[in-house]
Structure 1
Amino acid sequence: MSLQRVLVNRFSVRTWVIAAATVGAVIGLTGPAGAGTGDPSVQFTPTLARIPGTNCAAIINASTTPQPRSGEFAVKVSITRTGESCGAFRIAVRWRNLDSGSTGGQSDRVDENGVLEQPDGVITGMGMGPGRGRVEVSLVPTDESYPQRNDLEHIPGKVTVDLG
């Protein structure tokens, strides 16, 4: 075997190794993962609700957004309302960690104009986060009564996420 043929074979092997490593890295970065800063958002099923006002209803679309610390998530909300003289209400994010059994959540106000009173429509916090594991999350519209908020008539949006 000539020296030139040996160099060509080494070059070919190196090229294939580099190509395989690159493909592996790309597939690893875009494949499924638990929650973390580089994870994709997960879409909820739509929440449908009757809200305060004359013939008022809301369609609430939402998706999870990754957070910098593991075991935490946030929810980005988009609200479409219909009806006349619609009033304010709240959106409760309720979660349950299916692995540990812990539960929690929080609620945030939606004003009379249908705007979630959170920066950029993103609900963060979630009661200090559910921790690692499979987490079932639902969106539930509630009234503004205090201290016990009552659920409004609705079909909840749900999603299950794996938090790493």
Structure 2
Amino acid sequence: MRLKNVSLQQFTFRTGVVAAAMVAAWSAFTGTAGANSTDPVAQFTSTLTRVPGPDCAAIIKAETVPQPQSGVFGVRLKITQTGEFCGAYQVTVHWRNDDTGQTGGQSQRVEGTTVVGMPDNVITGMGMGPGAGKVEATIDTYSEVYPQNVDLEHIAGHATFTLG
């Protein structure tokens, strides 16, 4: 008889844990869906850049990606690269919040057409939180060369958008 009670208690406990996990997940999804529904997707002008290597170049098309937190954005890159034996380089998203005067940004390594360490080529992170307001953003490129970084020849991409 005691064995049945222990099994029943374990079943009840596990059911409670599963139910709590489902409620927490549902709450997270509900909060995320409406957090920045007013933040529009903004298209950047194309960034044209030379890439390290013989006759290497890239066209970087980008768009903002609304994030769950207010005043934060991500940038999805679509990279088309030409040339052979091209090297890696860095892409930097610089931003300025025109309403608060804050500035910042974030750099990520690019290898071929992939932003290293960023799923779906979406740059997100600590440097992507200008806060609510009108934001001007620029995409630049550089190469990591010892002893200092070198800007690559490029035409920067630009976008202006408002974060809620």
TM range (shorter): 0.7 to 0.9
Alignment of 1:33-52 (within 5 A): 36-37=36-37, 39-52=39-52
Of stretches 120-129 and 77-86 in structure 1, the one that deviates more from structure 2 is 120-129
Residue 153 of structure 1 and its aligned partner are, at CA, apart by: 0.6
TM-aligned CA deviation for residue 39 of structure 1: 3.5
Determine what percentage of the aligned residue pairs are the same residue: 57
For 1:97 and 1:109, locate their aligned partners in 2 and report how far apart those are by CA, in whole Å: 24
TM superposition score normalised by structure 2: 0.73
RMSD: 1.8
In structure 2, the partner of 1:124 is 124
Aligned mates of 2:146, 2:100 — CA distance in 1: 30
- Residue in 2 aligned with 1:159? 159
List gaps (5 residues or longer) in structure 1: 1-34
For residues 130 and 156 of structure 1, the distance between their equivalents in structure 2, rounded to whole angstroms, comes to: 20
Report 1:1-164 matches (<5 A). 36-37=36-37, 39-111=39-111, 113-117=112-116, 118-127=118-127, 129-145=129-145, 148-164=148-164
After TM superposition, the score normalised by the length of structure 1 is 0.73
Q: What SS is found at the alignment partner of 1:52?
A: coil
**After TM superposition, which residue ranges in structure 1, 4 or more long, deviate above 4 angstroms?**
none
**Deviation of 1:52 (Å):** 0.4
